[in-house]
Amino acid sequence: MADSIRLYFRYFGVSVRGQMQYRASFLMTSFGTFMITGIEFLAIWALFARFGSLRGWTLPEVALFYGLIHVPFGLSECFARGFDLFPGLLKRGEFDRVLVRPRSTFLQILGADVRLGQLGRFLQGLVVLLWAATALNVTWTLPRMALVLGCVTGGICLFCGLRVIEATIAFWSTESLELMNCLTYGGVETAQQPLTIYRPWFRRLFTFIVPLACINYFPAHAILGRPDALGTPAALHWVSPIVGFLFLLLTIEVWRFGVRYYTSTGS
Amino acid sequence: MTLIRVENLVKTFSVAERRAGLWGAVKGLAYRRHRVVRALDGISFTIETGELVGYIGPNGAGKSTTVKALSGILVPDSGRCEVLGRTPWKDRIANARDIGVVFGQRTQLWWDLPAIESFDLLRDIYRVPKTDYVATRDELIERLDLRSFLDVPVRQLSLGQRMRCDLAASLLHRPRVLYLDEPTIGLDAVSKLAVRDFVRSMNRQRQITVILTTHDMDDIEALCNRVMVINEGRILSDGTLDDLRKTVTTERWLTVDMLDGAEQVSDPDAEVISHDGARITLRFDPDHVSAAALISRITAKYPVRDLFVENPPIEQIVARIYAELKL
Amino acid sequence: MRGYWAIFSARCRTLLQYRAAALAGLGTQIFWGWVRVMVFYAFYQSSSAVQPMTLEQVVSYIWLGQATLLILLYGVDTDVVAMIRSGTVAYEMLRPMDVYSLWYARAVALRTAPVLMRAVPMFILAGLFFGLQPPASLAAGCLWAVSTVVSVLLASALGTLMTVTMLWTIAGDGIMRLVYSATFIFSGSIIPLPMFPSWMQPLLNFLPFRGMADVPFRLYTGNIPPSAGAIAIAHQLAWTLVLIICGRWLLARGTRRLVVQGG
B112 touches chain A (CB under 8 A): yes
Contact criterion met (CB < 8 Å) for B73 and A6: no
| B96 φ, ψ (degrees, to nearest 5) | -60, -25
Would you say C221 and C61 are in contact if contact means Cβ atoms under 8 Å apart?
Answer: yes
Q: How many CB pairs under 8 A join A and B?
A: 71
Task: State the average pLDDT for chain B.
Answer: 87
Low-confidence ranges of chain A (pLDDT < 50): none
Alpha carbon of A152: minimum distance to chain B alpha carbons (Å): 29
Domain count, chain A: 1
Rounded Cα–Cα distance for residues C252 and C228 (Å): 37
pLDDT average, residue stretch C39-65: 88
Residue B107 has pLDDT above 80, yes or no: yes
B72 touches chain A (CB under 8 A): yes
Query: Choosing among C8, C9, C14, C17, which should be mutated to test the B contact, i.e. which has the most B CBs within 10 A?
Result: C17
Q: Give percent above pLDDT 90 in chain C.
A: 19
Rounded Cα–Cα distance for residues C201 and C142 (Å): 25
Residue C19 has pLDDT above 50, yes or no: no
Q: Which residues face B213 on adjacent strands?
A: B55, B181
Rounded Cα–Cα distance for residues B309 and A33 (Å): 72
CB B7: neighbour CB atoms within 10 A? 14
- Structure confidence at residue A127 (pLDDT): 92
What residue segments make up the domains of chain B, in order of their start? 2-9+44-246, 250-311
Alpha carbon of C14: minimum distance to chain A alpha carbons (Å): 12
Per residue in C142-183, pLDDT (tens digit) is 999 999 999 999 999 998 888 888 777 654 455 666 777 778
Instruction: Print the domain residue range for A236.
Output: 2-265
Does the CA dihedral B306-B312-B315-B320 come out positive or negative? positive
Type of residue numbered B72? G
- Structure confidence at residue B30 (pLDDT): 61
What is the SS3 assignment for B40?
strand
Rounded Cα–Cα distance for residues B261 and A17 (Å): 65
Exposed/middle/buried for A29, CB within 10 Å: 0-12, 13-18, 19+? buried
CATH number listed for the domain at residues B2-9+44-246: 3.40.50.300
Strand-strand pairing, B2-17 and B177-181? unpaired
Residue B248 has pLDDT above 80, yes or no: no
Would you say A166 and A176 are in contact if contact means Cβ atoms under 8 Å apart?
Answer: yes
Angle between helices C99-110 and C78-86 (to 10 degrees): 140
Query: Choosing among A17, A100, A173, A265, which should be mutated to test the B contact, i.e. which has the most B CBs within 10 A?
Result: A100
- Structure confidence at residue C18 (pLDDT): 46
The confidence band for C96, taking pLDDT boundaries of 50, 70 and 90, is low
ipTM of the complex: 0.81
Alpha carbon of A197: minimum distance to chain C alpha carbons (Å): 6
Q: What is the DSSP letter of B18?
A: P
- Structure confidence at residue B172 (pLDDT): 94
Rounded Cα–Cα distance for residues C215 and C193 (Å): 10
What class does CATH assign to B250-311? alpha beta
- Structure confidence at residue A232 (pLDDT): 80
Does the CA dihedral B47-B53-B57-B63 come out positive or negative? positive
* Residue C159 parent element (H or E): helix C138-165
Q: Which residues face A37 on adjacent strands?
A: none
What is the SS3 assignment for B80?
strand
Would you say A16 and B117 are in contact if contact means Cβ atoms under 8 Å apart?
Answer: no
- Structure confidence at residue C233 (pLDDT): 92
Interacting residues of C138 by C-beta distance below 8 A, sequence separation 6+: none
Q: Which residues face B15 on adjacent strands?
A: B35
Q: What is the DSSP letter of B102?
A: E
* Residue A49 parent element (H or E): helix A23-51
Contact criterion met (CB < 8 Å) for C181 and A179: no
Considering only CB atoms, A17 lies closest to which of B75, B96, B113, namely B113
DSSP A53-108: -BTTB-HHHHHHHHHHHHHHHHHHHHHSHHHHTHHHHHHTTTHHHHHTSSS-HHHH
Per residue in B28-44, pLDDT (tens digit) is 556 667 788 888 999 99
Considering only CB atoms, B22 lies closest to which of C9, C19, C22, namely C9
Q: List chain C residues with CB under 8 Å of A209.
A: none
DSSP B292-306: HHHHHHHHHHS-EEE
Q: Where in chain B does DSSP place strands (E)?
A: 2-17, 33-48, 52-56, 78-83, 99-103, 177-181, 209-213, 226-231, 234-239, 252-258, 270-276, 279-284, 304-310
Rounded Cα–Cα distance for residues C7 and B223 (Å): 48
CA angle (B70, B73, B79) in 5-degree steps: 50
Interacting residues of A52 by C-beta distance below 8 A, sequence separation 6+: C46, C47, C49
Rounded Cα–Cα distance for residues A190 and A180 (Å): 14
Exposed/middle/buried for A178, CB within 10 Å: 0-12, 13-18, 19+? buried
pLDDT average, residue stretch B306-311: 88
Alpha carbon of A173: minimum distance to chain C alpha carbons (Å): 7
Residue C257 has pLDDT above 80, yes or no: no
